[in-house]
Amino acid sequence: MHHTKMRNQTQLSEFLLLGFSEDPALQPLIFGLFLSMYLVTVSGNLLIMLTILTDPHLHTPMYFFLANLSLVDVCFTSTTTPKMLVNIQAYSQAISYAGCITQMCFFLLFAELDNFLLAVMAYDRFVAICHPLHYQVIMKPQFCVHLLLLCWAISLLHALLQSLMVLHLSFCLHVEIHHFFCELNEVASLSCSNTLLKDVATYIVPMLLAIVPLAGILYSYYNIISSIHSISSAQGKYKAFSTCASHLSVVSLFYVTGLSVYLSSSISHNSHSTSLASVMYTVVTPMLNPFIYSLRNTDMRMALKRLLFHN
């Protein structure tokens, strides 16, 4: 048994990413669509980062976390889309075993970072609205950096542990991944190893790590909404809510799409619909974030105007 397990693992040198469609006529369309979405994502998020870095008005905790979210979004979409574009151009579906594990590790790292950064941003809004007088004391620059480092540490640990679990799985010779990237559940489902390890790696750990930030976000917003209710003037209510509106839109988009993919993959095993749904949170959400933040946020709009028209 051990001998065949070793043989299976040594024989496996690559996986095949089947993507969305094997129809050659659709490939240029898929390539064009994903290339344009990728370019919009990268340029939009880089513009947000540049605006925040160059504008002193935006050197506040909220925008510090937003600049980091934009950086993570660029990295997040860069772990999956470029490889798919290269494969379409090269008429290839192959990704090496090491390449697949590496892609999966970085994907998990940036997905988890997105998760925790959204939770930290919700906490920032909670302190700003529920404890405005203590905001400067609580959200000190040093504390913000520590929060960011904590997000990185947890996410990195999670990504490495998940990847090590997958490295311990042995794979049968069936290596077709019905997806456009090495998604954890898809890769684990190809394994012919012990199912308990597979279930822990693909369902229990991610679920726990998704629940903690989500609980933090819900708790923060429950308190924010209670505080907003107690504001007597309509203008005050609107002003308080408008500072959260863009963050709330991004959180809703990320969690609704992410959870729908997760649930659809665990309920139905229709890989095609899962890979289409995962485009929403891997490509579309990072692309829309800069638009949501710059359109819904007056400070951001003003800073963008200053950057674009006064230089």
pLDDT tens across 239-267, in order? 777 778 888 888 888 888 777 776 766 66
Q: What's the CATH number where 152 sits? A: 1.20.1070.10
Nearest to 212 by CA among 154, 260, 149: 154
Q: Rounded to an integer, what is the distance from CA 228 to the centroid of its chain?
A: 29
User: 3-state DSSP call for residue 23?
Assistant: coil
First-to-last C-alpha distance (Å) of the chain: 68
> Which strand (E) or helix (H) includes residue 95?
strand 94-96
Alpha helices (H) along 131-233: 135-138, 141-167, 184-189, 195-199, 205-230
Domain that holds residue 94: 2-309
Task: Enter the pTM of the model.
Answer: 0.86
Q: Cβ(217)–Cβ(251) under 8 Å?
A: yes
Residues 123-172 have pLDDT tens digits of 999 998 889 899 999 999 999 999 999 999 999 998 998 888 888 777 77
**What is the side-by-side order of every strand in the sheet holding 14-17?**
94-96, 14-17, 176-177
Q: Cβ(175)–Cβ(163) under 8 Å?
A: no
Domain count, the chain: 1
